Amino acid sequence: MRISQLTTFVFLIFLDILIFSCNKKVDVVDADYQKERLTELIIPLEKGKYITYRVDSTIFTNFGQNTEIHSYLIKHIVDTAITDNLGRPGYRIFTYLSDTAGTQPWQPTGSYSITVLDDHVEVMEDNMRVIKIVVPVRDGTKWKGNTYLAEDPYGSDYNFSNDDNMGKWEFYFDGPIQSTATIQDQTYNDVYTITENDDPDLPTDPSDYGSVSVSREMYSKNVGLVFRELTLWEQQPNPSGIPPNVTYDPFRVGFGIKMWMVDHN
């Protein structure tokens, strides 16, 4: 090999090494940046930080014939750093209930945990582990958020089919990142919407079977969760009689929850 060729060869090797090193450095910086973006969306994980939500809870009574909406306030307060059931560092959050006016004493109602990892955030609540957010934080990113759930996680409480395929739900960042949103007359900046499922198969007639499986969350940078909807119910037509003299007495099974932030520190 001639000296000029050897020099060129060595230079190219050096250039490849330099490019590789630079790319590796960028990847590390990007990983740190993405993890920072994850923590920006979760309630600030410091002891004493809280968010208060108004909740409208839809239930079906009288054997599914009547629809009622029960409203209340729920406060989420960061308690302390913990180790989760998989031995990973996380945070414990306590929850408390009050009436919608906030005049009644806050009553403890339970707790859940948040685990922030390098590439995703998990929430463990009511023995359900859900991957809430992943990186990269950008429009169109998709992931199987319910992959750890049982086959029918609500089966012990509701005799419906809405939850049969929850493990296959494909979460995704929905719409432009860092957008502005108005929720219940409150405007938030840097809002990230995550659609977890969107299947509103509403019945239009008493003789129709129908179901609604809608799950969506909205996060505001450095504030946390500002809106959540989880609606899971189905309608059974409940026919009686012999054709052509068939009548229908439909009933509904399931629940719906809508919550939005009203206060935080």
Given a contact cutoff of 8 angstroms between Cβ atoms, the answer to whether 214 and 198 are in contact is yes
Query: Do 151 and 220 lie in a common domain?
Result: yes
Question: What residues in the chain have per-residue pLDDT under 50?
Answer: 3-29
Query: Do 120 and 71 lie in a common domain?
Result: yes
Query: Do 3 and 74 lie in a common domain?
Result: no
Locate 53 and state its tokens: 């939500």
Percent of the chain whose predicted confidence (pLDDT) is above 70: 86
Query: Do 94 and 186 lie in a common domain?
Result: yes
Query: Do 22 and 128 lie in a common domain?
Result: no
Query: Do 17 and 70 lie in a common domain?
Result: no
pLDDT at 10: 37
Query: Do 126 and 191 lie in a common domain?
Result: yes
Q: What is the dihedral of CA 124, 125, 127, 133, to 10 degrees?
A: -40
Q: Which domain holds residue 59?
A: 42-264
Beta strands in the chain (DSSP E): 50-61, 66-83, 89-98, 107-116, 120-125, 128-134, 142-143, 171-173, 179-183, 186-201, 210-220, 224-236, 239-242, 245-248, 251-264
pLDDT at 34: 65
Query: Do 122 and 19 lie in a common domain?
Result: no
Query: Do 1 and 54 lie in a common domain?
Result: no
pLDDT at 209: 93
Given a contact cutoff of 8 angstroms between Cβ atoms, the answer to whether 114 and 95 are in contact is no
CA dist 158 and 140 (Å) reads 32
Q: Specify the 3-state DSSP secondary structure of 165.
A: coil
Given a contact cutoff of 8 angstroms between Cβ atoms, the answer to whether 47 and 80 are in contact is yes
pLDDT at 35: 65
Query: Do 5 and 52 lie in a common domain?
Result: no
End-to-end CA distance of the chain: 70
Locate 128 and state its tokens: 């359900």
pLDDT at 3: 45
pLDDT digits (tens, 9 = 90+) for 162-191: 999 899 999 999 987 777 889 998 999 889
* Segment (H or E) for 8: helix 3-41
pLDDT at 36: 66
Query: Do 125 and 153 lie in a common domain?
Result: yes
pLDDT digits (tens, 9 = 90+) for 189-200: 889 999 999 999
What's the domain count of the chain?
2
pLDDT at 25: 41
Query: Do 46 and 15 lie in a common domain?
Result: no
